[in-house]
Amino acid sequence: MKDQTFSLQPFPSAKPLPKLKIAGNVARSLNQFIIHYALLGDLRQIVIAESVDTPRRKHELWNDTCFEFFLGIKNSDRYWEFNLCPTGHWNVYRFDGYRQGMQEETAFTTLPFSVQFLSDGLALALDIDLDKIVPADQALEVAITTVIKDKDGELSYWALTHQGTEADFHRRDSFIIVL
């Protein structure tokens, strides 16, 4: 099993950012993909919508606090964007190339993940089988990201690395974990 820890950094901003730490680990065993996020800090500084009884596929989750990761096929332009909202809503998009050919990935009809509220933050965990989209022997390049919405409605963008002059999670040079 390939297992790596991560810590996300905010994209630089002229405005004060919430004092948070976003870290976790990601692993792949055969074709099981496992990711755990820990959002630590004073959650009263940010907007987290209430959990829903019936989580569903939903668009534009990145307009609120949303955990995301991107999986790219090594030596290919194709990649997927996974969005996980603490409410339980989710979505997966497939791209043919950099921001090109965006489509809902219909191979996934559910994306069950867990969210646990802690005294000092929250934890989110997902364990999925990738057989529906890539073969187990295919190397993947991974980008791990999070969008945080603060109490003033401002968004901050957190990632493993920020390669451009603007926050852009789709840049393949930021898919820096290989599994």
All domains in the chain, ordered by first residue: 2-12+28-178 (2.60.40.1190)
The residues facing 75 across adjacent strands are: none
Q: What percent of the chain is predicted at pLDDT more than 70?
A: 99
Residue 1 pLDDT exceeds 70: no
To the nearest whole number, what is the mean pLDDT of the chain? 95
Q: What is the band of 16 on the pLDDT scale with cuts at 50, 70, 90?
A: confident
pLDDT tens sequence across 132-144: 999 999 999 999 9
pLDDT of residue 169: 98
Q: What is the mean pLDDT of residues 12-28?
A: 92
Cβ–Cβ under 8 Å, residues 85 and 66: yes
Q: What is the mean pLDDT of residues 34-38?
A: 98
Residue 38 pLDDT exceeds 80: yes
The backbone region for 62, taken as left when phi is positive above 0, alpha when psi lies in -120 to 50, beta otherwise, is alpha
Q: What is the mean pLDDT of residues 89-102?
A: 97
Q: Which of 9-18, 62-71, 114-123 has the lowest mean pLDDT?
A: 9-18
pLDDT tens sequence across 44-78: 999 998 888 899 999 999 999 999 999 999 999 99
